[in-house]
Structure 1
């Protein structure tokens, strides 16, 4: 499930993903991030993963390709999670983002949000 958080504004998209991620969730995410890139020339992203249990492999692959193609249009990206594989995923996609990806543990979510919003 993809939830758009209230901190979303301007060129910043803040989302929380949990449970199972479907093709529809990834489609919505790509639509929201693409809209910001089109309107502002780039997009900042806060991506929080909580109790994430399943990601459809085809949807994840399609999303990964989107990131490779559009990675240079991202500004600051924070991934917040609770599992070792999530930190590895952040490191794996970091080279494809213009400013890389900062990974934070779930208990550091406020710090991650500040970093995306203000660069601190």
Structure 2
């Protein structure tokens, strides 16, 4: 499930993902981040993962391709998670983002949000 957080503003998208991510969740995410990229030239992202149990492989691949195509249009990206595989995923995708990805543990989510907001 994808939830857009109230901290979303201007060029910054803040989302929380949980449970199982669907094609519809990723479609909404890509639409929201692409809109910011078009309007502002780049977009900041706060991406929080809580109780994330499953991402369908096809959906993950499609999202990875989106990241490859649009990676240079990302500004600061904070990924917040609670599992080792999430930290590893952040490290894997970091090179394709213009300013990389900074990983924070779930206990550091307030620090992560401040870091993304300060990027403006």
With normalisation by structure 2, the TM-score equals 0.98
The CA deviation at 1:37 is 0.2
Quote how far apart the aligned CAs of 1:17 are: 0.1
**2:115 is matched with which residue?**
115
Deviation for aligned residue 1:108: 0.0
What's the CA shift string for 1:7-61, capped at 9, x where partnerless?
0000000000000000000000000000000000000000000000010110110
Moved over 6 A (4+): none
Question: Within 5 Å, which residues of 2 pair with 1:1-120?
Answer: 1-119=1-119
C-alpha separation in 1, matches of 2:103 and 2:46: 10
- Tell me the number of residue pairs that the alignment of Structure 1 and Structure 2 aligns: 119
What RMSD, in angstroms, separates the aligned Cα atoms of the two structures?
0.4
In the alignment, the residues of structure 1 paired with residue 117 and residue 61 of structure 2 have an alpha-carbon distance, to the nearest angstrom, of: 28
How far apart in 1 are the matches of 2:61 and 2:41? 24
Give the gaps of 5 or more residues in structure 2: none
- Alpha-carbon separation, structure 2, partners of 1:107 and 1:18: 16
Separation of aligned partners in 2, 1:74 and 1:97: 6
